[in-house]
Structure 1
Amino acid sequence: MADISHWFSRLWTRRAVPYQDEDKIESSEALLEETKNDRPISLRKQDCKRVWWILTLLNVVFFGGAITLYSVAWLKYTERNACLRATSTYSPILEEVDMPLTDTLLNGSLWLGDNPPIWRGLPDSDEANDAWESFEHVRPIALTKDQIIAMGKDPATVAKFNNDYWGLGDDAYVGALDFFHQVHCLNVLRHESFRYYNRDGETVPKWNEIHWVHIQHCVGMMMEHLLCNADAGFLTYNWVEHEKYPFPDMSVRKQCRDWHQLVDYRDAHGVNESLYVKWVKPEGVNQLKQPQDWWKYRGQYDQAHYANGTTIDN
């Protein structure tokens, strides 16, 4: 009996000790787990806070960058003559003077009409000659060294206004607006085109009135285009040997359109020419009235446009 009691006592002790040990172990493990988790939780909080600051900083940077880019684009768009600057080479006038764009309908009619542009005036018209002559005053303008460089020119080759004569300081170079040079060239062609107008003689070509009407149209159209696209670019002047006065450097830098693209487009999209030259007005189409001047020159017009002598009556 004592042995059995001893055996049960040992058995109980063996079962009780492991039970107590497991309880302690669980308690210890829980305490250990809590101890182990205390540091990672703290670290995770720090990591989250660090990530939050990084994300916030990145958002601020990206947002600030977007605002900066938008502001730069807006300022670029709203700056003086923004559209002209985008399609022109550097010119100080685009920084100093507002040049608004105006929607203008050019007078492309072949005929003079009741109120023709002054640029179509014949060479015996004092009013027309005076209007053209007003563009012949290509007045030199003082430019700075920085402006010369911005134009793509070498200041070392550009004539300077000497200060002892002009009193403009030591940073004054000779320049002029190229626009007036362009009009001058057109005026020279205008005078040459009308060389034989209203003249007689054996060597004078026998041109009829419609010829001069055509010349007037071409000159007037070119002038209207020049005025419409008034160029703000500058010429510069050089001192050249055997020249007493500053000589204009008429080789100027421009922002040019690629006209080859227009040729390619025309060739790719143009209709069949052989069909076009045989094409005549179909019946029943909507017709515009001819200007009054056309009736005045109708005979000459038909003679010039229909080599076989045929005319269109309808």
Structure 2
Amino acid sequence: MRTRGFRSFRGSSGSGRSGGSGRRTRPAVAVALLAAGAAVLAGGGPVGAAPAAVHRTKQDQQEQQEQADGCDVTKSVPPSTDDGPAVKAIKARRSLVIGVDQNSYRWGARNPNTGQIEGFDIDLARAIGAAVMGDPEKVVLKPVATADRIDAIKKGRVDLIVRTMTINCKRMEDVAFSKPYFNITQRVLVPTASPAKNIDDAVKDQRVCAAAGSTALTVVTEKKTARQVVTVENQLDCLVLMQLGKVDATMTDNGLAAGQAAQDQTVRIVDGEAQPEVVGVAMLKDSTDLTARVNQVLADYYARGDWARSYEHWLKPYMLNEADRYWPGTR
């Protein structure tokens, strides 16, 4: 994948700011980062890491989420190539800052060989950056923690978030979203020795981990069956806690769950999934022209086959081999 021409902050992967060390220096985190590095160096994980299939149509998934949320999560402004005030201000500043993940294997993770952040979301972030700015040297990829995504946008630390961010009604009150670019559901990981067969088994009377500010945390909290809900700043920290025996299960979306199962052969995904959702690019609510520009990039990205190529490269071996299942398309 293309690595030159895009700058990235190397700061704390949990803080979302450059240059800090923060909580990510603890030894537990090093365990997972070493596992991630080994997985990247190995060049891939087993096909058996793919989640079990639960067949739903794209429209069924979207309608179920709309019914639960009470809003149309696919609604966004029409695509446009016009440069409005938000895009012009970014170009005048000569820097587009995109908030990304550097902890999620195959989605957004730092390659120890190159030092570059890479993955499915990173391919999309770079495509957006190149289209908006025209010059890759003017694009900055900045790691942002799960819990810090909305704050980072509202406080101007980033212009966009491309980080497996679920679109829902509550978040739509705070930030604007592009059209969806991926269908997901919530899944549960457990250690391979766990007797749990499904989500209910894995959660009931167990210590369950989820990232703060994530949809997974809302889902597991609303179940009200866990003995303890443990929150962490980034979803990779849940894998560390499972490795150390401090939690019994992790809830996260199916893409991230598949990445963790591929990254660590001592965990597996249980049967069943919860709350069909869609993922989008987030930005300031009043940046309507930027939203329209991102929607144009998404339309072009899919039409050129770039979405499919990125999916084939990063995700197909670890998820259901049905690309149509994951592209939300239009309605």
Please classify the TM superposition score into its range, dividing by the shorter chain length: under 0.3
- Between Structure 1 and Structure 2, the one with more helix by share is 1
Q: TM-score, normalised by structure 1?
A: 0.19
- Between Structure 1 and Structure 2, the one with more strand by share is 2
Tell me which of the two structures has the higher relative contact order, counting C-alpha pairs closer than 8 angstroms and 6 or more residues apart: 2
Q: TM-score, normalised by structure 2?
A: 0.19
